[in-house]
Amino acid sequence: MDMNIYQGIVEIITEISEDGQTLEDISPNSQLEGLGINSLTFVKMLVKLEIEFDIEFEDSELMYDSSKTVQDIINVIRLKQE
Q: How many domains does the chain have?
A: 1
- Give the confidence band of 22 by pLDDT, cuts at 50, 70, 90: confident
The CA–CA distances, whole Å, from 75 to 7, 55, 82 equal 14, 13, 11
The enclosing domain of 38 has a CATH number of: 1.10.1200.10
| Mean pLDDT, residues 46-68 taken together | 86
Q: Which residues constitute the domain of residue 55?
A: 3-81
Q: Is the pLDDT of residue 52 over 90?
A: yes
| Mean pLDDT, residues 37-53 taken together | 93
**pLDDT value at residue 2:** 74
**pLDDT value at residue 1:** 55
